Structure 1
């Protein structure tokens, strides 16, 4: 399955994601059973990723000109985290949805619904409001946008969702995301056929919030005009929406094969510390390391 996923990604834009996994009890009561059942259907993480990729490719070629997800099914990612007493999580999340949410300890499983209907609507709105708005209106007819808005209204009415659990980025990872993680955080490197399919780094949301607030405080004093400060402020507000027992995950996606091993979390942290100390030489060196790693990736977006 992982090998098929790697081959299926060939030729597609690099896409990375920042996800929040919450304990089951953090979701509305009427949604919990659906999450549990969706988790049970997710035999493995690779199966979820492959199903999402195939579904997205299917929407592109769907007759009728409607590129939006219908919401008939919503994929759910599940991760297991250590118990409060420090004992390890289950060896694998494969079939984890079949377990009781309290099996083996308090809140050992965390859930991240894909929320494709909501996210597709937000992405379409951003596209319409951007510089490519006129082109987007041709590609996505108003009739299809109105139809999808009805789906969004229906999802919100029945699921009561006020939080979007996933942020996505194409052709590179925003530097602000790296502020949430450190080298000591749990890291999974997924490989297949001699390639890195993805790298996933996870941190407790409390730790992630401490790190991003530290970065905001220092940048506000040392570099208040830096664009990254606004990104970090928005990131902080987003994290604060979720349950304190949540887990944050950075999923590199296929770009990991180009950049990993990756020192970006350390370089971002060192750059901010140097700015706070007035060490412009050190801050510039950290930025050069980041730029040499990520600018070539972003340039691929314009390659023919």
Structure 2
């Protein structure tokens, strides 16, 4: 269990940002090139909670700075470290680059389809987008888009992620004196891929019309692009304070099993429990 003993600027910043869940892939050190390994060596002793606090504070400063430019600069890459216990009982470190500049650029492109142009111009002026494009290395951007280590969801967790990680997986809890700041579940990528494969095969036979089938296929294709010895992590972030302990993985698993058994009543009951839990969370996103 990771804890924060007192109020920090970063911890406060985390509570001021929208609650977001993250699905991350942590690769072993040997998966990175020599240059990246040198950066990792300089950062690997930074406590996870300290890094999360710093990244949240930097994000908030970008949003609130006087010159309206929410994009990060091409700074030195930041790496999260996950210490995962192996089958032999030995804990080994795994690493996940933040890739914040690339993720911010992708998020900006997605906003084009979600916000009215007048509002978008206030949040993200064209001058800031042009400046970001100018300072972005196109080769690095293309490489990171093809090998993006983090997926993010605001005010909710995609159903496919509950297939990937389960409530009895390795867990780390990040909290301070006020609330949960995050709960992180982790499992080996090979295990996660097997879970997604089995669930997708069952749904393809019993409920091919469900959107989650496409989500599982996309998730499996994404995970196959990483080192086979990687670790997958689901980080609830501030959403943990709303739902943890969370029965969503179990409810989804029961629902898929019920579909396989032809038990439509059981499947409907599982889905109802799952959706009711997260509808209440999403209602907070629309509250003033």
Look up the match of 1:88: 90
1:116 is aligned, of 100, 106, 117, to 100
Distance (whole Å) between structure 1 residues aligned to residue 240 and residue 172 of structure 2: 11
Whether contact under 8 Å (2:49, 2:174) holds in the other structure is no
Cα separation, partners in 2 of 1:137 and 1:223, compared to 1, 3 Å: farther
Look up the match of 1:135: 119
- Relative to structure 2, which stretch is displaced further, 112-121 or 20-29? 20-29
Look up the match of 2:194: 210
Look up the match of 1:14: 19
Whether contact under 8 Å (2:182, 2:240) holds in the other structure is yes
* TM-fit CA distance, 1:289: 1.0
Q: Which whole-Å deviations, capped at 9, do the CAs of 1:137-175 have from their partners, x for residues lacking one?
A: 442122321221233325707x95431111111111111
What is the root-mean-square deviation in Å for CA atoms of aligned residues?
2.1
Whether contact under 8 Å (2:17, 2:60) holds in the other structure is no
- Unpaired runs of 5+ residues, structure 1, are 90-107
- Unpaired runs of 5+ residues, structure 2, are none
Whether contact under 8 Å (1:14, 1:171) holds in the other structure is yes
* TM-fit CA distance, 1:132: 4.0
* TM-fit CA distance, 1:189: 2.1
Distance (whole Å) between structure 1 residues aligned to residue 116 and residue 252 of structure 2: 31
Whether contact under 8 Å (2:13, 2:60) holds in the other structure is no
* TM-fit CA distance, 1:133: 5.0
Look up the match of 1:99: none
The 3-state SS of whatever aligns with 1:202 is strand
Q: Does 1:69 align with 2:72?
A: yes
Look up the match of 1:265: 249
Aligned length: 282
Whether contact under 8 Å (1:69, 1:120) holds in the other structure is yes
Look up the match of 2:156: 172
The 3-state SS of whatever aligns with 1:183 is coil
1:29 is aligned, of 34, 41, 52, to 34
Whether contact under 8 Å (1:35, 1:113) holds in the other structure is no
The 3-state SS of whatever aligns with 1:299 is helix
TM-score by length of 1: 0.86
Distance (whole Å) between structure 1 residues aligned to residue 28 and residue 104 of structure 2: 24
Cα separation, partners in 2 of 1:22 and 1:151, compared to 1, 3 Å: farther
TM-score by length of 2: 0.91
